Structure 1
Amino acid sequence: MTQIGLALAGRAGARLAAAVGITVGRDTLLRMVRALPEPEIGEVEVLGVDAYAFRKGRHYGTVLIDMATHRPLHLYDGREGEDLAAWLQDHPEVKVICRDRSSGYGEGARVGAPQAQQVADRYHLWANLGQAVEKTVNAHRSRLAEPLAGAEDGPGHLDTEPEVVQPSKELKIVTRLREQHATAHEMWAQGMSKAAIGRKLGLHQATVRKLVNVRFADDVVAKSLQRAHVVDPYVGYLHRRWNEGIRNAAQLHREIQELGYPGGELAVQRHLRRYRTGRGHAPAVGTKPLSVCEVTSWIMTHPEHLRDGDADKLHRLRERDPELDRLTGHVRKFAAMMTGRHGDRLDGWITEAEQDTLAPLASFARNLRRDLDAVRNGLSMSYSSGAVEGNINRLKMLKRQMLGRAGLDLLRKRVLLAR
């Protein structure tokens, strides 16, 4: 019954026990788990440290891992450096500490184990670099559309490039997203939960989470404007007919229906509405602009692992945008430094990134200086926090099985003893 309680906790454990002929209540199983003694820690030379979420964005804890055996050693509530320092002072044998780039853990490790080398995890370094790359690409999203190769002469060909008539007003969805983003952040700063914000604004909790987790409204707007629309495959035909003088949305709707358009006339009206100001031309349409996510993915992927088509698109993008070309170069140098364990090149890479005009990348580089020794060790030594991340995933699985009234003590027992 104890093993059942360790593996499945209360409700699920009671159901399995009943299936094998044992009548036991869920609370009895939990009491048996709580009564188990915690295992001896022993000596630990290489320690892994990371945070996990009891409630994402609100309540966190910390888990300590023996990197030699990959076994959890301790869990405590919160992610403050003082608690880590107190634990380390009882374990002066620790020589290496693998951690993320949290300043709290860094200070706690320095105070509690000044003799230990701190190693910044490469996974978190690469993830932080990816965030800087995405911000940079997002700032260049207006340049992601490939130019037309040149239109062929034909009945609908225009001798001159049509003037692009911009909408006189910001799209309603953009205005609405900006207002919702500002209001959601204001409520979040006042301490309201995401569920409460959703009820107040009449939004789904997932939408509130998207708004709160994004710092700038432009990031939300960009992602919304990049979404595929039902009219997108027919935009080229619509613009050509518009520039030929056919301005009746109902007629254009009937024409694209014959081409397979599945949507309604209202979507066509909304798309063409922006070009009615001054009876101007609709812009010439090439291929659909590349998305920020896919360009970021191409830049962060090893060149040998890119598909031929994606590699060609990235090559053309780099040719027409010098800043994204330099960004790709910086990323590939960092990747070579990380995979080849060339931590001695870090200072030079940081200097180059700081001197570039790419603001998000320069900010990432400056932040590396604040934790320079740990980052250099992470790029030079073989230690990694992979075992820590594996235990975090296991902890999440165990936590999902917990009863609402079960506390940290029960979770600690299950993490330390369940196999």
Structure 2
Amino acid sequence: MEKRKLYSYIRWSSDKQAKGSSLQRQLETARRVAHENGLELVEIIDAGLSAFKSKHLEHGNLGAFIEAVKAGEISNDSWLTVESLDRISRDEILKAQRLFMELLELGITIYTGMDNRIYNKASVTDNPMELMLSIMTFSRANQESMVKSQRQKSAAQLKIDKFQAGERAENGYPFAIRSSGANVFWSDVSDGTVKAHEYYFPIARLIVSLRLKGWGYMRIAKHLNENYIPPKGTAKRKHFKDMWSPKLVCNFLQSRTLMGEKSIRVDGVEHILKDYYPHVMSQTEYYSLQSVINRKLANEPNDYIPLLSGIRRFKCACGAPMVAFYQYDKIRYRCDGMKSLDKRMHCGAKSFNGASIENAIVQICADKIFKNVKSHTSNVGPIHAMLEDAQKKYKRGMDMLLEDNAPHGLNIKLIEIEKQIESLQNQLNDELIDLLPVD
């Protein structure tokens, strides 16, 4: 008979905790509980994930554990051992309590090593004081995290103020601000200041030069994986663990950190720290790179809208949507390599000339649809015109932003125009679908 399993959930959120005795202490407790209750031990570790805003549920193994129990992949009579209930959640009381009750409703037995308590659905039902104890524990944990968060915000704001006032270390480098997000992989903050990483900074410049030569993200990632050690902690997707991923290359090449900027948000206010990071390129070079990445060929028609992209029905065999792009004055379609890079890696889909398939569809429309359009008043023309007008307004606004002469509130206006473009595109798609003949 197969043993019931005890899943030891171990989580820490800071490097300081990782270097301490947290891991060993929690493992020893789990081994003891497994031995005393005749259970098979399975370790679940979430390193560097905070439970304050439930990041461990969204990106970590605890969320995966819960989903596996729901799917029947993990037996619902399993045990889950934690050092204390605040390892499960430090979120708002209602959210934390909801998670706790969900685990019990699924049939999971929870053991807390710090106070040697066992929680399950029957014990909480028979002794409501256990439920009260859990609420008090979650409340205390959330309050502690809120105080800690506020202290970190205050510390970050103080460092931001000092940076903007021009305060620098004796070596001339900025002081590192570690409490508000990770620093970029090509920087070295090991001594408390921000300087170029001896190994990764030259690689950062290499990535830029390869893209300017016309290399694509997949090709650059392949070259890096064959020749250079990838930075740690950059790939969140399992398929790209310990690899240079195409997504990493893409995000890197479009990040303003290349110009030395660091963006920090404290209490809803965004602070842009210029010259914080070592410059991979100048501002002029950065915008030239973005032009290369996003440029449309000079002879590409400005008002041309790809026929098939955006309708959410044109998909690759792997399930990812197909997107349009231009190459050598021609429109082509390919599997979406930005949102579904991992799928694309597996399916190996290649791009193809879009003119032939668009012409074929137009011919089908001529043969099958236009014979019956008298019964339907089409709004394609007016919607298309409004869409073009919205796209032109958006482009003008973006140009103003890039030239640093944008009026106050332009960002909000551009967001509204983006929503308008999306709405008009959906209306246009619906109109085209309505023109299809009914079988």
> TM-score scaled by structure 2?
0.23
Structure holding more strand per residue: 2
Structure holding more helix per residue: 1
